[in-house]
Amino acid sequence: MNALVATNRNFKLAARLLGLDSKLEKSLLIPFREIKVECTIPKDDGTLATFVGFRIQHDNARGPMKGGIRYHPEVDPDEVNALAQLMTWKTAVANIPYGGAKGGIGCNPGELSKSELERLTRVFTQKIHDLIGIHTDVPAPDMGTGPQTMAWILDEYSKFHGHSPAVVTGKPIDLGGSLGRDAATGRGVLFATEALLNEHGKSISGQKFVIQGGKVVALSDITGAIKNSNGIDIPSLLKHVKENKGIKGFHGGDSIDPKSVLVEDCDILIPAALGGVINRENANEIKAKFIIEAANHPTDPEADEILSKKGVIILPDIYANSGGVTVSYFEWVQNIQGFMWDEEKVNSELKTYMTKGFKNVKEMCQTHNCDLRMGAFTLGVNRVARATVLRGWEA
Ligand SMILES: NC(=O)C1=CN([C@@H]2O[C@H](COP(=O)(O)OP(=O)(O)OC[C@H]3O[C@@H](n4cnc5c(N)ncnc54)[C@H](OP(=O)(O)O)[C@@H]3O)[C@@H](O)[C@H]2O)C=CC1
Ligand SMILES: O=C(O)CCC(=O)C(=O)O
């Protein structure tokens, strides 16, 4: 199912549970601004290459819009739109003072050299620099981008507006990045998983995981997938990945079809890459009892229904992976304060936010007698709706 159709469907279900006014519902759904730019760069061999870049700014009722920039061949406006909308609900669920946005460039970063990526990032920044800003829209990394990409955006933006470290988060530490931001999404997923398991009288140790954490029995990346029911030796896998640029060829397990990794026998499944990977085609075969959505929209609504009938508990993306944007918020705060926190403070504040978020989501589940996804959606949508109404519409 198209990512935007799926996201809109979840939003509308939440709006109905909240009894939102239909005009307010419409206004919350339509993005604040959609930017589409052409980015032409000279390649290293002197030929020209043209790419299309997007920045969708969904909502700013609760604060500056916030969200990552993705470099991936499948970037399309509908998906960026859905991801921007998810950011609006996610920042509200995390209760950080932001709205939502997302960006992307349709490209394959693996096929571009470092200098080509730098030129592409600088051209994209030139095209959007007057529409982003510390108090307007603050980009960050997503798939295919990272601290180096943020450093180039910061440098290019600063040529127009003066040195502005707070215009992006997920920067290198040397340029004002926050300690703990690199690991924040994963660490937040860990805190979220602990909160969920605790509620079910379980703990991390002894659980079998697919993808990440505890005893990892199966794992995939773009190059391949492996399985080892005795547990994969993660340090030696990481060494192999570093040396060989991927899982392919690792001997510490059996090579399997990457598509089958999601339906391997495990207690906890953590999809942590692309969207839409759990769908009506594979939902019935999923063996996990819990799914923790580290990726954005990995489960489409049809799969949600199938899995709910099977009794699988899903911790939704807009709560489960909110650790990344939460530490981005801490980074922005540190830049504005001009004061750097130590890593212990970052991690302990992150735990506080993740624990509070889980409690708030559960309260909404009780109020609206709904599952965790609708608990998170009603929490996020309600906070944004309240801010929107309070701000009013008088011209
Ligand atoms: N970065 C962040 O702060 C946050 C990211 N997210 C979400 O997490 C997900 C991952 O993003 P992020 O970690 O930033 O991205 P990265 O680019 O850092 O990592 C993506 C990982 O997914 C792997 N991958 C790519 N395609 C496939 C595939 N078809 N099958 C299996 N594995 C694949 C990549 O392998 P390889 O390296 O070999 O290509 C890589 O290991 C996305 O859904 C993103 O929106 C959510 C919250 C915050
Ligand atoms: O850190 C951020 O600002 C955004 C991270 C992101 O894109 C996401 O949470 O999906």
Q: Are residues 190 and 306 in the same domain?
A: yes
Ligand 1 atom nearest 110 alpha carbon: 39
Q: Per-residue pLDDT tens for 102-160? A: 999 999 999 999 999 999 999 999 999 999 999 999 999 999 999 999 999 999 999 99
Q: Per-residue pLDDT tens for 349-390? A: 999 999 999 999 999 999 999 999 999 999 999 999 999 999
Q: Are residues 391 and 276 in the same domain?
A: yes
Structural element, H or E, at residue 33: strand 33-42
Closest-approaching ligand to the CA atom of 182 = 1
Q: Are residues 278 and 371 in the same domain?
A: yes
Q: Are residues 271 and 384 in the same domain?
A: yes
66 touches 325 (CB < 8 A): yes
Q: Are residues 126 and 197 in the same domain?
A: no
Q: Are residues 192 and 302 in the same domain?
A: yes
Ligand 1 neighbours, Cβ below 6 Å, are 68, 141-144, 185, 220-223, 246, 258, 272-274, 294-296, 321, 324
Q: Are residues 44 and 134 in the same domain?
A: yes
For residue 246, tell me if it sits in a domain. no
Which residue has its alpha carbon closest to ligand 1 atom 1? Answer: 142
83 pLDDT above the threshold of 60: yes
Write down the mean pLDDT value for the chain.
94
Q: Are residues 151 and 298 in the same domain?
A: no
What is the domain extent for residue 57? 31-163
Q: Is 270 left (phi over 0), alpha (psi -120 to 50) or beta?
A: beta
The ipTM value here is 0.97
Q: How many Å lie between the centroid of ligand 1 and the Cα of residue 297?
A: 12
Q: Are residues 85 and 140 in the same domain?
A: yes
- Looking up residue 41, the CATH number of its domain turns out to be 3.40.50.10860
Model confidence, pTM: 0.93
For residue 217, tell me if it sits in a domain. no
- Kindly tell me the burial class for residue 351, based on how many C-beta atoms sit within 10 Å of its own C-beta (0-12, 13-18, 19 or more): middle
Q: Per-residue pLDDT tens for 240-251? A: 988 888 888 888
pLDDT of residue 211: 66
Ligand 2 within 6 A of CB of 68? yes
Q: Are residues 94 and 200 in the same domain?
A: no
Q: Are residues 316 and 387 in the same domain?
A: yes
Q: How many Å lie between the centroid of ligand 2 and the Cα of residue 309?
A: 31
* Percent residues over pLDDT 90 in the chain: 83
Residues making up the chain, counted from first to last: 395
6 pLDDT above the threshold of 80: yes
Is residue 245 among the annotated active site residues? no
Q: Residues marked as binding for substrate?
A: 66, 90, 328
The rounded distance, in Å, linking the Cα atoms of 85 and 67 is 10
Q: Are residues 196 and 108 in the same domain?
A: no
- Looking up residue 283, the CATH number of its domain turns out to be 3.40.50.720
For residue 70, tell me if it sits in a domain. yes
Count how many domains the chain has.
Answer: 2
Ligand 2 within 6 A of CB of 297? no
Ligand 2 within 6 A of CB of 99? no
